[in-house]
Copies of this chain bind each other. A is one copy, B any other.
Amino acid sequence: MKAVMEFETLQNKVTTKLREAIITGNLKPGERLIQDELASLMGVSRMPIREALRDLEREGLVEILPHKGAQVTGITSDDIEELYFLRSKMEAVTVQKSMNFLTNEDRERLQELVEKMDLDIALGDMESFVENNKEFHLLLQSGCKWKKIKVLCKQYIEGYPAHVPSLIPDTTLVSNEEHKAMLKALDEKDPILLGQLVEHHIMRTGNTLTRLLE
């Protein structure tokens, strides 16, 4: 009866909580993650923690060594470069495959999201911008029939870098203009252009980010 609540299991709640902590920098790179500590800290047993950690390992946010434990992965500028490269290429392919299967409702929702983001920027509500931006990208890909690549894109979007760009105020404006250009390409049913726009959009973000880290 509930809409899209996949958050029933404890593991998922723990996972999102830990992910946030890492993304926001509350848990710093290199920091050891001791299962017992986290368990008592969050008021659950070690089991959900373990599985959450393995999920985060798959997302590349933590590293697990057998019998040694987990720690937050340190992130080099090389890693960021790789991440944005992969994401740009994959999302480009995904939206191209998705385009022709988007419904009118999808299209309207996308428009709505772009307008919301304009509002977010005006109000300086970066939290909301991040959410809307995420939904925009995922919705734009939703028509793609290929599953693996969609999962990868989702991981890359939800990983830590989603939040970082929003810390650079100027870039959000440019970003949303690019979103509008994507919708135009969508209306003109031009998959090649759309792919290029998406790829450029993400690479640009990645570049400003790496430049910022110097």
Contact = CB atoms under 8 A, between A and B. Distances in A.
A69 to B, nearest CB: 13
A9 interface: yes
This chain: how many copies in the complex?
A: 2
Nearest to A55: B54
A51 interface: yes
A27 interface: no
Contact of A148 (B51, B55, B83, B149): B83
A58 interface: yes
A78 B146 contact: yes
A149 B8 contact: no
11 contacts: A8-B66, A9-B66, A50-B51, A54-B54, A54-B55, A79-B148, A82-B146, A82-B149, A83-B148, A86-B148, A152-B152
B89 A89 contact: yes
B60 A148 contact: yes
Contacts of A8: 66-67
Interface string A70-88: 0000000011001100100
A147 interface: yes
Interface string A144-172: 01111100100000000000000000000
A92 to B, nearest CB: 11
B148 A82 contact: yes
A187 interface: no
Closest 6 CB pairs of A and B: A82-B146, A58-B58, A9-B66, A82-B148, A54-B54, A60-B148
Contact of A145 (B51, B66, B67, B78): B78
